[in-house]
Amino acid sequence: MSRERFYVTTPIYYVNDAPHIGHAYTTVLADVLARAHRMLGVPTWFLTGTDEHGLKVQQAAEAKGVPPQEICDTYSQRFRELHARLGVRYDDFIRTTEPRHKTVVSRVLTLLHERGEVYRAEYEGWYCTRCERYFNDTDVQAAGGRCPDQPVLHDVARLKESNYFFRMGKWAAELARRIESGEMELAPEKRKNEVLGFLRKPVDDLCISRSKARLSWGVDLPFDADYVTYVWVDALFNYKSAIGYLSDDPAARERHATWWAHATHILGKDILTTHAVYWPTMLLAAGESLPRKLLAHGWLLDATGLKVSKTKREGVTDQGPPPPSIDALLDVLGTDVTRWLLATAMKPGDDAAFSWDLVRERVNAELANGFGNSVNRVVKMAHQACGGKFPGLGGGGPRGDSLREKTLAVVAAVSAVPETLDMLAVNAAVRVAVAEMSGYLDDEKPWKLAKDPAQTGRVAGILADCIESLRLLGLALSPIFPEKCAVLRATLGQPAATDFVAEARWGVLTAGTPLGEPPNLFPRFDDAKLAALPQ
């Protein structure tokens, strides 16, 4: 992937309920990727936001006896507040009820209608209210008469009505060709194969309208006032409306020209079809270029093996212990540790179990007993044996060379993020480097060597290797741990990083640099905090 620019988006999140840990995972992953690109000197634009039209919002408003806009305002703010707690640094937050977005949707629909890409027809089929999607008889039958996307959780109902349709099937072969050519990348590879398999079958046209007799909360169809736009058509154009597509403002159009060619969408695998089929076929029909890349990640799974979500699990009798909520994680662990757990929870594309037992294990093993303990013991020994100053590299021996190699592997893993988008590889490299440092200290025992004046140089060499390793870890991991790494850098006498390329090498610290007091960077998991949470 080109490192010229990086335009990264999350899905825009639906506002019929409060955000949950799945939303947090996607947003933190996108934020870490954005921070990593910025650190590597890649111009970056990060977009997130909220999806505010559709039947579920209308129903949530009716249930509460308030206008739909009030529901949207309330829950959109909840997402902003969560992003702030997670330390997310986005460049724009789009809301689909904003005029800048609704204008673009209307203009695109007018364009598609004028080109003959939209037609009216009678339709009868199965409809899932929660997914806001129609499904054919074959898929519903295969799902046991339930929603093909969420058969355990969602029912479907039979509907018949006149609607408008987009000629999606017309563009299926062309989309397949462009995916196979690599023009639009789908990651991981199994998601690419899944989409290509879908496109090689007959692809139905897409119903893009909803009758106002059933749904009034949406963007009006510009060519028929009796209908609103299907929420998935409306929502997907946020990725372009937010950066100035079809804007009357020349500066906004220039922003679109600058960023769109570098678009990477981060999304969950459950919305792969909408993003990898609906969205690009509409772009092709409108004469627009495709996004550069889609990363469809897996799910965090609860004790029952189901996706962690805000949806009540009707029909599931044994739901097991509740999974950690995002608010509870933040209350117990704080921002940076929560970011670490989420950003490195799974390999892109795979699912991963997520429970309080797993959280406790990872916090204690990877952070408290691993990275955090290494920081504390190295800095403490440097105060005792080196007068609280960096002694200068040299004299560490072959084990120091091994630590240098494994530390630079962390730098390499972070530097590869623009190509791999893989934070689990970063996690693995960090654990190897920290284990190497711990083994180095345990084998060499500098606290014992320090008792022999003849070994002063040897002790200094060992500690210098470890301190320089910690400096590089603090630099490379700052996209995940922005607060903790700032503390670590300050402890090692380093200002905020300004040039990753210049600093991402071995041997930057100078002899005599004063060291701060040893910090308790990553405390052990606090079960008392967990027990104190409201039940």
pLDDT of 135 higher than 90 = no
Q: Are 483 and 490 in contact (CB under 8 A)?
A: no
Model confidence at 374, pLDDT cuts 50, 70, 90, reads: very high
Give helix then strand counts, H and E, for the chain. Answer: 24, 16
Report the mean per-residue pLDDT for the chain: 93
Q: With CA atoms as reference, report the closest residue to 337 among 533, 86, 517.
A: 86
Q: What's the pLDDT at 310?
A: 53
Radius of gyration of the chain (CA): 26
pLDDT of 350 higher than 70 = yes
Q: 421 and 489, same structural domain?
A: yes
Read off the CATH number of the domain in which 474 is found.
1.10.730.10
pLDDT of 448 higher than 60 = yes
Q: 440 and 313, same structural domain?
A: no
CA–CA separation, 192 and 194 (whole Å) = 5
Q: 147 and 33, same structural domain?
A: yes
Q: Are 6 and 384 in contact (CB under 8 A)?
A: no
- Of 48-62, 102-116, 314-328, 443-457, the least confident: 314-328
- Of 13-17, 109-113, 157-161, 412-416, the least confident: 157-161
Residue 202 resides in a domain: yes
Residue 349 resides in a domain: no
CA–CA separation, 82 and 85 (whole Å) = 5
Q: 481 and 431, same structural domain?
A: yes
The separation between CA 339 and the C-alpha centre of its own chain, rounded to angstroms, equals: 10
Catalytic residues: 20, 23, 128, 131, 147, 154, 307, 310
At 3 the three-state DSSP class reads coil
Backbone dihedral region of 130: left (phi > 0), alpha (psi from -120 to 50 degrees) or beta? alpha
Model confidence at 129, pLDDT cuts 50, 70, 90, reads: confident
Residue 510 resides in a domain: no
Q: 389 and 240, same structural domain?
A: no
Q: 317 and 377, same structural domain?
A: no
Q: 137 and 94, same structural domain?
A: yes
Q: Which of 293, 313, 333 is the last residue of a domain?
A: 333
233-276 pLDDT, tens digit each: 999 999 999 999 999 999 999 999 999 999 999 999 999 999 99
pLDDT of 177 higher than 50 = yes
Residue 350 resides in a domain: no
Residue 488 resides in a domain: yes
Please report, rounded to a whole number, the percentage of residues in the chain having pLDDT higher than 90: 80
Q: What's the pLDDT at 432?
A: 97
Read off the CATH number of the domain in which 60 is found.
3.40.50.620
Q: Which of 333, 350, 372 is the last residue of a domain?
A: 333
- Of 124-138, 189-203, 237-251, the least confident: 124-138
pLDDT of 197 higher than 90 = yes
Q: What's the pLDDT at 314?
A: 40
Q: What's the pLDDT at 93?
A: 98
Task: Indicate the residue type of 18.
Answer: A
CA–CA separation, 352 and 358 (whole Å) = 10
Q: 367 and 328, same structural domain?
A: no
pLDDT of 6 higher than 60 = yes
Q: Are 343 and 491 in contact (CB under 8 A)?
A: no
**Residue range 331-347: average pLDDT?**
95
Q: 388 and 322, same structural domain?
A: no
Q: What's the pLDDT at 315?
A: 40
| Residues of the domain holding 416 | 363-503
As for how many domains the chain has, the answer is 2
- Of 120-134, 201-215, 466-480, the least confident: 120-134
Dihedral pair phi/psi, residue 16, rounded to 5°: -85, -5
Residue 344 resides in a domain: no
Residue 208 resides in a domain: yes
Which DSSP category does 495 fall into? -
Q: What's the pLDDT at 136?
A: 81
Q: 74 and 204, same structural domain?
A: yes
Q: 145 and 13, same structural domain?
A: yes
Residue 528 resides in a domain: no
Cα distances from 512 to residues 363, 404, 488, 503, in angstroms, run 33, 20, 17, 18
pLDDT of 388 higher than 50 = yes
Q: With CA atoms as reference, report the closest residue to 111 among 276, 262, 240, 263.
A: 240
Model confidence at 321, pLDDT cuts 50, 70, 90, reads: low
Q: 420 and 468, same structural domain?
A: yes
pLDDT of 361 higher than 70 = yes
Q: What's the pLDDT at 64?
A: 93
